[in-house]
């Protein structure tokens, strides 16, 4: 269930073909969870500013059940920054990355929370 959500003011038409797939594969590699569980969301054309400027900018939210820690977050920042900056043409100093560790009781899928799924598979 790891999710990478990018909110950005760049036009949707400038998001390169294949970017979602490339980001999904990278997220799977960095987070260490199978790609079948990775969710990528790109919210382009979002009215936003950073530092009082409407120049291209973004807010990136990375969430996961587990796999969020100071050490892992540094690894994720180092991995995601070049891809986002290069492919979306947003300078690295024009976006924030935020990490959020979710509790398995707070995420549902296919009629059960992940906590229920983990209990029933034990």
* Annotated catalytic residue 91: no
CA dist., res. 100 & res. 62, Å (int): 6
Q: Comparing C-alpha atoms, which of 19, 39, 16 is closest to residue 28?
A: 39
Laid out side by side, the sheet with 95-102 consists of 39-43, 3-8, 58-65, 95-102
**Which among 2, 16, 56, 70 is annotated as catalytic?**
2
Exposed e or buried b for every residue in 92-116, given b needs 16+ CB within 10 A?
Answer: eebbebebeebebeebeeeeeebee
Catalytic residues, which ones? Answer: 2
């Amino acid at each position: 269930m790891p999710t990478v959500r990018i909110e950005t003011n760049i036009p949707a038409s400038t998001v390169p073909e294949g970017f979602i797939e490339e980001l999904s594969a990278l997220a799977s590699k960095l987070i260490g969870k199978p790609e079948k569980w990775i969710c990528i969301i790109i919210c382009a054309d979002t009215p936003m500013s950073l530092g009082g400027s409407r120049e291209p900018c973004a807010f990136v939210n990375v969430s996961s059940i587990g796999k969020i820690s100071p050490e892992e977050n540094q690894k994720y920042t180092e991995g995601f920054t070049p891809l986002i900056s290069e492919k979306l043409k947003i300078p690295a100093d024009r976006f924030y990355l935020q990490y959020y560790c979710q509790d398995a009781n707070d995420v549902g899928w296919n009629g059960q929370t992940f906590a229920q799924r983990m209990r029933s598979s034990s």
